[in-house]
Amino acid sequence: MNEGLMQLLALQDVDRELQALEEARDKFPAEIDERQGQIDHARATLQEQVDLLENLAREQRHYENEIEDAKADLKKHEERFSAVTTNKEYDALQIEIAACKSRIAEYETEVLETIETSERLRQEIETRRQEVEKIEEQHQTRIEELQQRLASLQKEVDGVESSRQSVSRAIEAPLLQRYQRSRKNRGTRVARILKGACGACFRQLPAQQRNNVKYTDTHVHVCEYCGAILVWDDQASS
Protein backbone atom coordinates (compact mmCIF):
# COMPACT_ATOMS: atom_id res chain seq x y z
CA MET A 1 0.00 0.00 0.00
CA ASN A 2 2.71 2.48 0.96
CA GLU A 3 4.47 1.91 -2.34
CA GLY A 4 1.22 2.81 -4.08
CA LEU A 5 0.81 5.92 -1.96
CA MET A 6 4.33 7.05 -2.83
CA GLN A 7 3.37 6.62 -6.48
CA LEU A 8 0.34 8.82 -5.82
CA LEU A 9 2.66 11.56 -4.57
CA ALA A 10 4.65 11.24 -7.79
CA LEU A 11 1.43 11.40 -9.78
CA GLN A 12 0.40 14.52 -7.93
CA ASP A 13 3.72 16.18 -8.81
CA VAL A 14 3.11 15.35 -12.46
CA ASP A 15 -0.44 16.71 -12.23
CA ARG A 16 0.81 19.97 -10.76
CA GLU A 17 3.34 20.35 -13.52
CA LEU A 18 0.65 19.62 -16.06
CA GLN A 19 -1.70 22.16 -14.51
CA ALA A 20 0.95 24.90 -14.52
CA LEU A 21 1.71 24.22 -18.19
CA GLU A 22 -1.97 24.21 -19.09
CA GLU A 23 -2.56 27.49 -17.30
CA ALA A 24 0.29 29.14 -19.20
CA ARG A 25 -0.96 27.64 -22.45
CA ASP A 26 -4.49 28.91 -21.80
CA LYS A 27 -3.34 32.49 -21.12
CA PHE A 28 -1.56 32.99 -24.43
CA PRO A 29 -4.59 32.94 -26.75
CA ALA A 30 -6.19 35.83 -24.82
CA GLU A 31 -3.06 37.94 -25.27
CA ILE A 32 -2.88 37.02 -28.95
CA ASP A 33 -6.53 38.06 -29.38
CA GLU A 34 -5.95 41.34 -27.54
CA ARG A 35 -2.99 42.24 -29.76
CA GLN A 36 -4.73 41.13 -32.94
CA GLY A 37 -7.67 43.30 -31.87
CA GLN A 38 -5.43 46.35 -31.70
CA ILE A 39 -4.04 45.66 -35.17
CA ASP A 40 -7.56 45.18 -36.55
CA HIS A 41 -8.77 48.40 -34.94
CA ALA A 42 -5.88 50.43 -36.38
CA ARG A 43 -6.46 48.94 -39.83
CA ALA A 44 -10.21 49.62 -39.65
CA THR A 45 -9.65 53.27 -38.73
CA LEU A 46 -7.28 53.63 -41.68
CA GLN A 47 -9.79 51.95 -43.97
CA GLU A 48 -12.51 54.41 -42.89
CA GLN A 49 -10.32 57.29 -44.04
CA VAL A 50 -9.49 55.55 -47.31
CA ASP A 51 -13.22 55.04 -47.94
CA LEU A 52 -13.86 58.67 -47.16
CA LEU A 53 -11.23 59.70 -49.70
CA GLU A 54 -12.90 57.52 -52.33
CA ASN A 55 -16.24 59.16 -51.56
CA LEU A 56 -14.65 62.57 -52.03
CA ALA A 57 -13.22 61.50 -55.39
CA ARG A 58 -16.70 60.34 -56.45
CA GLU A 59 -18.15 63.64 -55.29
CA GLN A 60 -15.52 65.53 -57.25
CA ARG A 61 -16.32 63.57 -60.45
CA HIS A 62 -20.00 64.27 -59.89
CA TYR A 63 -19.44 68.03 -59.72
CA GLU A 64 -17.08 67.93 -62.69
CA ASN A 65 -19.83 66.24 -64.73
CA GLU A 66 -22.29 68.86 -63.57
CA ILE A 67 -19.88 71.55 -64.74
CA GLU A 68 -19.61 69.86 -68.15
CA ASP A 69 -23.40 69.78 -68.45
CA ALA A 70 -23.77 73.39 -67.35
CA LYS A 71 -21.11 74.48 -69.86
CA ALA A 72 -22.90 72.63 -72.67
CA ASP A 73 -26.11 74.30 -71.56
CA LEU A 74 -24.42 77.68 -71.58
CA LYS A 75 -23.10 77.08 -75.08
CA LYS A 76 -26.58 76.18 -76.37
CA HIS A 77 -28.04 79.35 -74.86
CA GLU A 78 -25.28 81.54 -76.28
CA GLU A 79 -25.88 80.10 -79.74
CA ARG A 80 -29.48 81.17 -79.51
CA PHE A 81 -28.50 84.86 -79.45
CA SER A 82 -28.28 84.91 -83.28
CA ALA A 83 -31.89 83.77 -83.50
CA VAL A 84 -33.22 86.33 -80.98
CA THR A 85 -35.64 88.85 -82.53
CA THR A 86 -37.22 90.69 -79.57
CA ASN A 87 -35.92 92.47 -76.47
CA LYS A 88 -38.07 90.23 -74.32
CA GLU A 89 -36.44 87.13 -75.78
CA TYR A 90 -33.05 88.75 -75.34
CA ASP A 91 -33.67 89.50 -71.64
CA ALA A 92 -34.99 85.99 -70.99
CA LEU A 93 -31.91 84.51 -72.60
CA GLN A 94 -29.63 86.75 -70.53
CA ILE A 95 -31.30 85.49 -67.34
CA GLU A 96 -30.84 81.86 -68.35
CA ILE A 97 -27.21 82.46 -69.24
CA ALA A 98 -26.61 84.13 -65.90
CA ALA A 99 -28.19 81.11 -64.16
CA CYS A 100 -25.87 78.74 -66.08
CA LYS A 101 -22.83 80.77 -65.15
CA SER A 102 -23.78 80.87 -61.50
CA ARG A 103 -24.32 77.07 -61.50
CA ILE A 104 -20.86 76.65 -63.03
CA ALA A 105 -19.30 78.94 -60.40
CA GLU A 106 -21.07 77.09 -57.59
CA TYR A 107 -19.89 73.68 -58.82
CA GLU A 108 -16.36 74.94 -59.31
CA THR A 109 -16.29 76.04 -55.68
CA GLU A 110 -17.46 72.56 -54.65
CA VAL A 111 -14.71 70.96 -56.74
CA LEU A 112 -12.06 73.19 -55.17
CA GLU A 113 -13.29 72.39 -51.66
CA THR A 114 -13.30 68.68 -52.45
CA ILE A 115 -9.75 68.90 -53.76
CA GLU A 116 -8.56 70.71 -50.62
CA THR A 117 -10.30 68.27 -48.28
CA SER A 118 -8.92 65.31 -50.24
CA GLU A 119 -5.41 66.70 -50.05
CA ARG A 120 -5.64 67.11 -46.26
CA LEU A 121 -7.12 63.65 -45.91
CA ARG A 122 -4.41 62.14 -48.10
CA GLN A 123 -1.75 63.53 -45.76
CA GLU A 124 -3.61 62.21 -42.70
CA ILE A 125 -3.86 58.81 -44.36
CA GLU A 126 -0.13 58.80 -45.03
CA THR A 127 0.60 59.55 -41.36
CA ARG A 128 -1.90 56.95 -40.17
CA ARG A 129 -0.53 54.35 -42.56
CA GLN A 130 2.87 54.74 -40.92
CA GLU A 131 1.27 54.45 -37.46
CA VAL A 132 -0.56 51.30 -38.50
CA GLU A 133 2.68 49.80 -39.78
CA LYS A 134 4.32 50.51 -36.43
CA ILE A 135 1.42 48.94 -34.54
CA GLU A 136 1.48 45.91 -36.82
CA GLU A 137 5.21 45.49 -36.40
CA GLN A 138 5.06 45.85 -32.63
CA HIS A 139 2.24 43.36 -32.11
CA GLN A 140 2.99 40.96 -34.92
CA THR A 141 6.40 40.07 -33.50
CA ARG A 142 4.91 39.30 -30.09
CA ILE A 143 1.99 37.38 -31.63
CA GLU A 144 4.39 35.16 -33.56
CA GLU A 145 6.49 34.63 -30.45
CA LEU A 146 3.38 33.64 -28.46
CA GLN A 147 2.24 31.29 -31.20
CA GLN A 148 5.61 29.58 -31.19
CA ARG A 149 5.59 29.25 -27.41
CA LEU A 150 2.05 27.95 -27.60
CA ALA A 151 3.15 25.23 -29.98
CA SER A 152 6.12 24.25 -27.81
CA LEU A 153 3.99 24.35 -24.64
CA GLN A 154 1.57 21.97 -26.28
CA LYS A 155 4.48 19.59 -26.91
CA GLU A 156 5.48 19.86 -23.24
CA VAL A 157 1.89 19.20 -22.17
CA ASP A 158 1.82 16.12 -24.43
CA GLY A 159 5.11 14.93 -22.92
CA VAL A 160 3.92 15.35 -19.33
CA GLU A 161 0.62 13.66 -20.17
CA SER A 162 2.44 10.62 -21.45
CA SER A 163 4.60 10.46 -18.31
CA ARG A 164 1.37 10.80 -16.30
CA GLN A 165 0.07 7.71 -18.05
CA SER A 166 3.13 5.67 -17.17
CA VAL A 167 3.03 6.82 -13.53
CA SER A 168 -0.71 6.01 -13.39
CA ARG A 169 -0.14 2.51 -14.73
CA ALA A 170 2.00 1.67 -11.68
CA ILE A 171 -0.89 2.48 -9.33
CA GLU A 172 -3.68 0.04 -8.50
CA ALA A 173 -7.00 1.04 -9.99
CA PRO A 174 -9.00 1.49 -6.73
CA LEU A 175 -6.30 3.73 -5.28
CA LEU A 176 -6.10 5.74 -8.48
CA GLN A 177 -9.86 6.23 -8.43
CA ARG A 178 -9.70 7.29 -4.81
CA TYR A 179 -7.09 9.89 -5.78
CA GLN A 180 -9.15 11.18 -8.71
CA ARG A 181 -12.23 11.54 -6.53
CA SER A 182 -10.60 13.09 -3.47
CA ARG A 183 -11.11 16.69 -2.58
CA LYS A 184 -8.42 19.13 -3.75
CA ASN A 185 -7.21 21.50 -1.09
CA ARG A 186 -5.05 24.12 -2.81
CA GLY A 187 -4.20 21.55 -5.43
CA THR A 188 -3.28 18.89 -2.90
CA ARG A 189 -5.00 15.49 -2.92
CA VAL A 190 -2.19 13.46 -1.35
CA ALA A 191 -0.09 14.71 1.55
CA ARG A 192 2.89 13.43 3.52
CA ILE A 193 2.65 13.61 7.28
CA LEU A 194 5.17 16.27 8.31
CA LYS A 195 6.04 16.83 11.97
CA GLY A 196 2.82 15.11 13.01
CA ALA A 197 0.69 17.38 10.83
CA CYS A 198 -1.17 16.92 7.55
CA GLY A 199 1.11 18.16 4.75
CA ALA A 200 -1.85 19.71 2.92
CA CYS A 201 -3.68 21.73 5.60
CA PHE A 202 -0.91 21.67 8.26
CA ARG A 203 -3.31 20.74 11.03
CA GLN A 204 -1.88 18.55 13.76
CA LEU A 205 -3.13 14.97 13.44
CA PRO A 206 -4.13 12.81 16.45
CA ALA A 207 -1.35 10.39 17.47
CA GLN A 208 -3.63 7.43 16.83
CA GLN A 209 -4.23 8.49 13.25
CA ARG A 210 -0.50 9.05 12.66
CA ASN A 211 0.18 5.54 13.87
CA ASN A 212 -2.60 4.13 11.72
CA VAL A 213 -1.10 5.72 8.65
CA LYS A 214 2.39 4.61 9.61
CA TYR A 215 1.63 1.00 10.47
CA THR A 216 -1.63 0.00 8.75
CA ASP A 217 -1.07 -0.97 5.18
CA THR A 218 -4.52 -2.31 4.52
CA HIS A 219 -6.53 0.80 3.79
CA VAL A 220 -6.30 4.42 2.80
CA HIS A 221 -6.40 7.09 5.50
CA VAL A 222 -7.56 10.61 4.83
CA CYS A 223 -7.02 13.80 6.81
CA GLU A 224 -10.20 14.41 8.82
CA TYR A 225 -9.84 18.17 8.26
CA CYS A 226 -9.11 18.59 4.56
CA GLY A 227 -9.71 15.12 3.11
CA ALA A 228 -6.19 14.67 1.70
CA ILE A 229 -4.96 11.09 1.38
CA LEU A 230 -2.27 10.74 4.04
CA VAL A 231 1.11 9.16 3.34
CA TRP A 232 3.79 8.12 5.75
CA ASP A 233 7.10 8.77 4.07
CA ASP A 234 10.01 7.26 6.01
CA GLN A 235 12.36 9.83 4.49
CA ALA A 236 10.30 12.88 5.49
CA SER A 237 7.64 12.00 8.05
CA SER A 238 8.12 12.10 11.80
Given the rule CB under 5 A, which residues bind Zn ion? 198, 200-201, 223, 225-226, 228
Name which of 35 and 189 has its Cβ closer to Zn ion: 189
Shortest separation between residue 193's beta carbon and Zn ion, angstroms: 10
Q: Where are the alpha helices (DSSP H) in the chain?
A: 2-79, 87-169, 173-181, 207-215
Name which of 61 and 195 has its Cβ closer to Zn ion: 195
Shortest separation between residue 184's beta carbon and Zn ion, angstroms: 12
Helix (H, G, I), strand (E, B) or coil at 80: helix
Shortest separation between residue 232's beta carbon and Zn ion, angstroms: 14
Q: Report the alpha-carbon distance of residue 32 to residue 144 in Å, rounded.
A: 9
Name which of 18 and 201 has its Cβ closer to Zn ion: 201
Residue 69: CB atoms within 10 A of its CB come to: 14
Name which of 100 and 198 has its Cβ closer to Zn ion: 198
Shortest separation between residue 196's beta carbon and Zn ion, angstroms: 12
- What is the β-pairing status of strands 229-231 and 190-194? parallel
**CA dihedral of residues 105, 111, 112, 116 (deg, nearest 10):** 160
Shortest separation between residue 198's beta carbon and Zn ion, angstroms: 3
Residue 100: CB atoms within 10 A of its CB come to: 20
Name which of 153 and 201 has its Cβ closer to Zn ion: 201
Q: Report the alpha-carbon distance of residue 236 to residue 238 in Å, rounded.
A: 7
Give yes or no for a contact between 198 and 223, defined as CB atoms under 8 angstroms apart. Answer: yes
CB contact set of 101 (below 8 Å; sequence gap of 6+)? 74
Cα 229 to the chain's mean position, in Å?
Answer: 41
Helix (H, G, I), strand (E, B) or coil at 198: strand
Name which of 56 and 226 has its Cβ closer to Zn ion: 226
Shortest separation between residue 225's beta carbon and Zn ion, angstroms: 4
